[in-house]
């Protein structure tokens, strides 16, 4: 495990997945300017590595991410803007969106506001029983800019999203599971094992399919249903005409063998 400026820990597994850990546990992994930039840089480095096809994001200590570092903001360091250096912090949510393969969020503790937005940027969410979510934008008086106002409603429906975002109340792990916000809830000591196991399952996909399939699902979700179906057909034709029957049959046999052994 190697540090990225000490703020983000990077662990690359030879199987093809990587674990990024936000590493400000004393501040509940609050997003300082430095942490935002370190996280975005780390994601982009891994996105450029062809050996890393699946990414896992988690937090050190008892929090996933407590959102923007309000102490830094209160000191006038302008975590929302450029600050004294004239350089804006890098956007970690946009960086996660640029990662072509699946991103698994392993939510180990509180995910608040900006931390909630980090979680929603992931493709799959596994939650510890200690996980809790909250959107405090309305209470604090900061407008969301990383997608919470749009992604949350798409994940759990508009009525539940309105309740959470306009009240700022906590959503515990069990309720998040019941509402369909997370894929499943596991004991804290099993969270990373579950995330790594899921990453290995995903890595069993045919070459290129993780990126291709994710892109089709993501791009189609942003369209009206009819347009999304047309997009799927267009990409399917372009992809499938390149396939060889022998390769498909070999992978089908491998899947059948795995199902029999399982």
Task: Find the CATH number of the domain harbouring 191.
Answer: 3.90.226.10
pLDDT bin (cut points 50, 70, 90) of residue 1 is very low
* Phi, psi for 11 (deg, rounded to 5): -125, 115
Q: Which is nearest to 45 in space by CA: 83, 93, 99?
A: 99
Please state, in angstroms and rounded to a whole number, the distance separating the CA atoms of residues 47 and 22: 17
Domain identity same for 181 and 70: yes
Domain identity same for 256 and 151: no
Domain identity same for 100 and 182: yes
Say what the pLDDT of residue 79 is: 47
Say what the pLDDT of residue 72 is: 83
- Over the chain, what is the mean pLDDT? 91
Cα distance from N-terminal residue to C-terminal residue, the chain: 32
Please state, in angstroms and rounded to a whole number, the distance separating the CA atoms of residues 63 and 108: 6
pLDDT at 246 over 80: no
What predicted TM-score, i.e. pTM, was given to this entire model? 0.89
SS3 state at 207: coil
Say what the pLDDT of residue 82 is: 47
Say what the pLDDT of residue 110 is: 98
Domain identity same for 127 and 239: no
pLDDT bin (cut points 50, 70, 90) of residue 261 is low
Instruction: Copy the structure tokens of residue 160.
Output: 């539940």
Say what the pLDDT of residue 260 is: 66
Domain identity same for 125 and 241: no
Say what the pLDDT of residue 3 is: 42
Q: Which of 161, 177, 202 is the last residue of a domain?
A: 202
* Phi, psi for 216 (deg, rounded to 5): -65, -45
Domain identity same for 121 and 242: no
pLDDT bin (cut points 50, 70, 90) of residue 255 is low
The 10s digit of each residue's pLDDT in 55-90 is 999 999 999 999 999 888 666 555 454 444 445 678
Structural domain including 236 reads 209-261
Number of structural domains, the chain? 2
Domain identity same for 6 and 81: yes
Radius of gyration of the chain (CA): 19
Domain identity same for 160 and 85: yes
């Amino acid at each position: 495990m190697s540090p990225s400026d000490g703020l983000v820990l990077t662990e690359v597994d030879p199987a093809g997945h990587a674990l990024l850990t936000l590493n400000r546990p004393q501040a509940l992994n609050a997003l300082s300017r430095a942490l935002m930039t370190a996280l975005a840089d780390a994601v982009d480095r891994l996105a450029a590595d062809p050996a890393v096809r699946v990414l896992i994001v988690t937090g050190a200590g008892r929090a996933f991410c407590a959102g923007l570092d309000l102490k830094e903001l209160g000191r006038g360091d302008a975590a929302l803007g450029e600050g004294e250096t004239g350089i804006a912090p890098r956007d970690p949510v946009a960086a996660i969106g640029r990662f072509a393969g699946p991103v698994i969020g392993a939510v180990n503790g509180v995910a608040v506001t900006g931390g909630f937005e980090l979680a929603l940027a992931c493709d799959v969410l596994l939650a510890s029983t200690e996980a809790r979510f909250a959107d405090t934008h309305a209470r604090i008086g900061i407008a969301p800019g990383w997608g919470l106002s749009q992604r949350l409603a798409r994940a759990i429906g508009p009525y539940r999203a309105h309740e959470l975002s306009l009240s700022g109340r906590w959503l515990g792990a069990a309720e998040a599971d019941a509402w369909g916000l997370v894929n499943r809830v596991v004991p804290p000591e099993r969270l990373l094992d579950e995330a790594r196991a899921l990453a290995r399952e995903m890595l069993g996909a045919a070459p290129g399919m993780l990126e291709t399939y994710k892109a089709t699902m993501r791009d189609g979700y942003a369209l009206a249903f009819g347009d999304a179906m047309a997009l799927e057909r267009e990409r399917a034709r372009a992809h499938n005409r390149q396939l060889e029957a022998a390769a498909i049959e070999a992978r089908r046999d491998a899947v059948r063998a795995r199902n029999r052994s399982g």
